[in-house]
Chains A and B, each alone.
Chain A
Amino acid sequence: MDEASRRKLLKRLRKILGSENVLDDEYIVSIYSRNAAGMSSNALAVVFPSSVEQVSSIVRLAYNENISLYPQGSATELTGSSIPSEGGLVVSFQNMNRIKETSVVDGYVVAEPGVILRELDSHLSQHGYMFPVDPASIRAATVGGAVNTGAGGMRGAKYGTMREWVMGLQVVLPDEEGTVMRIGCRTAKCRQGYDLVRLIVGSEGTLALVTETTLRITPIPENTVTLLGFYEELEDLVNTVVGVKENRLSPYIMEFIDAETVDITIKAGGSRIKGEGHALIVSLDVPPEASSRYAGILRSIMESNNASQIHVAENTDQAEKLGLFDIRRGFHPATVKLAAEASRHSKGRILVYVEDIAVPPSRLAEAIRRIRRTSDEMNIPLSLAGHAGDGNIHPVTWFDTGDPESKERVERWVGEIMRIAVELGGTVSSEHGIGSSKKEGLRMELEAIGGLKALELMRRIKEIFDPKGILNPGKVV
């Protein structure tokens, strides 16, 4: 785009949004063109709409002028889904951060896309309720970002991902009119023809711009019982997961951390609990009166699978006081610290990369072992933890952006990790999305399950929603 056209476009945007909401300073654009995986690019400007009408006006203008739009929350995503390209506009939803309605009786909250998940949870806690999707980035990630990536979290085994919690959406379609469309219901049961709500959840901003969300809410559990145990053998840890399920228990949280990662985390000072071996944390939401009984059942399942050093908390506060979640919460900061130490001798920036695959929980031991072996063979530093309840594994590594060989090695490693997931009947992306970095993985997975035709259907769906291809182009399909 030539300079005169650029100026003209910015002028028109400023007329719609006000000059304070159209920023083209190169430094500001740079910090809105970067994500938490270290991917970066450039854009024409960043725009901050405050209402659905403004979003619609931006879309109309972009449609007519063939300008690409890149919706963005807090850019905490890890696959490139929020990264713009040269000549495009970042549409930041930071101004649209109101919680508009809360109905405990009807079980929903209406929130704009820029609301931060932790703020939503704090708001709901005043009513004794919560929004159960809790990605590790909960303090920074937004509702809109979570909808677009189809986010999950530690409570995923019990509550699932965003897909299960979005009841309705207001979106702006990327057409000539910037059409505003409402879909979904405010009732738990809803048969509204084809399920477009769930098509848009996880579509990474490629089909429509989400301007309002109606989200299902759930009561905060009255009490939780939490046990942490350490295992010498991975099979014993996985057999505990099997035992929990066979005993008809539905864990609130069930997390694992592999032995080497436990060691790294404890050495980094990230845990009040010390122990050796693979760690498993199981949390159940049970009434206080039943806490002791359930703690006993869990302990006996762990003991019968050779767990040692079992720590027990019979209520939620006690689990926090004892630090039963320290290792799980501390493994990522400990990895980042290790990477930072490596950066002292680096040529460029050290980037920490969090992988996100899932396998059926029964195949966890095999998956963990293969990931370790592959990483060792490829000389890749590795931390390994995840959500045992739903088989979601997060292998974490880092690389030096100034060392092309290190970057290329990690890219090959990502391919291998995704291959392991597919070979074990799993998926290449559980809760982070496809973005631009996992498109090959998506193809590999669909091919393996005999679903390659789905890619063609997805491209056609994209064309129907976005005939000019102006919405987050180059992502997902």
Chain B
Amino acid sequence: MTSFVKPFIRRKNEPTNALGLVRADYDGAMSTLCAGCGHDAVTATMARAFFELSIEPHKAVKVSGIGCSSKTTAYFLRDSHGINTVHGRMPSVATGAIAANHELAYIGVSGDGDSLSIGLGQFVHAMRRNVNMLYVLENNGVYGLTKGQFSAAADIGSTAKKGAVNELPPIDPVSLALSVGATFVARGFSGDRDQLLPLIKAGLKHKGFGLIDVISPCVSFNDHKGSTKSYAHTYKYYNPAIHADYVPPSEQIKADYAAGEVMPVKLHDGGEIRLRKLENGYDPRDRAAAIGKLFESGQSQEIITGLLYINENDKDMHEMARMEDRPLNQIPYDELNPGAAKLKELQKGFR
């Protein structure tokens, strides 16, 4: 536990966003994670993304499960809606919330334990349904909150702090997402916010399920020699392959890129994602190519990051299930609850 709080200080000439809010208005409670935790960097980057997108804090929803990563929803957007659910059950709660009001910005924060072990089923089905949310998986390869046991994301050969070697194959959330139909699949690193910030912004603006698997080192239990999720290891094998910039609709005119260098992808909100640093011939809109690229990089120790796959054409859950377009809180009560007589009539149809 930390003994201090970060003070809220207004300074002169401080930058504000379109709503007149300052960056610190998007902060939350003081983080209680270990000093140097990668999750704190991700938290700060999420806060900045919401600030730069000028999303009103009360129009954002934070959902999480259990674990170090899931605690972090308390540490940003203090004026937003949020819920810590049962371990691994965040996708269900998020699905329900989105069904009730799909006009808010949903961000789910989870970890490799919450998503890849106890909550694996939930995680997969949310992707399969293409629930319109951004799912940030803070991946450190260990159960930090219970003192450093291997998680399902630990690589073969990676060692624990006391020297035990992991022999089980890892579950790679990115490959998994590609195989079950997620429509925005990215990998990032807590140590590279220049890449992570636009990924989070793009993921929030993408319509459908967005997954960002963020390598986020655990300083206390998985930052030693022999770990494949340490700061040193990640920096060493880090390959920021595909950089994605989110460009809001208002800034569309400023097209300052040469053809071939940049691949623009139109988004539903009128903005676009501009992909840079692409290797020759690689098209992140091609799922097979993305899967191939991933396996290829898996042969070496290289950690390929960036926006690996994007598909703006698939229907999201709301559209697929032909759900009511209006948020439930905007529907008049007698329409929402037509009464016992109407119910009886409805039930008749099923007899």
A, B co-complexed: no
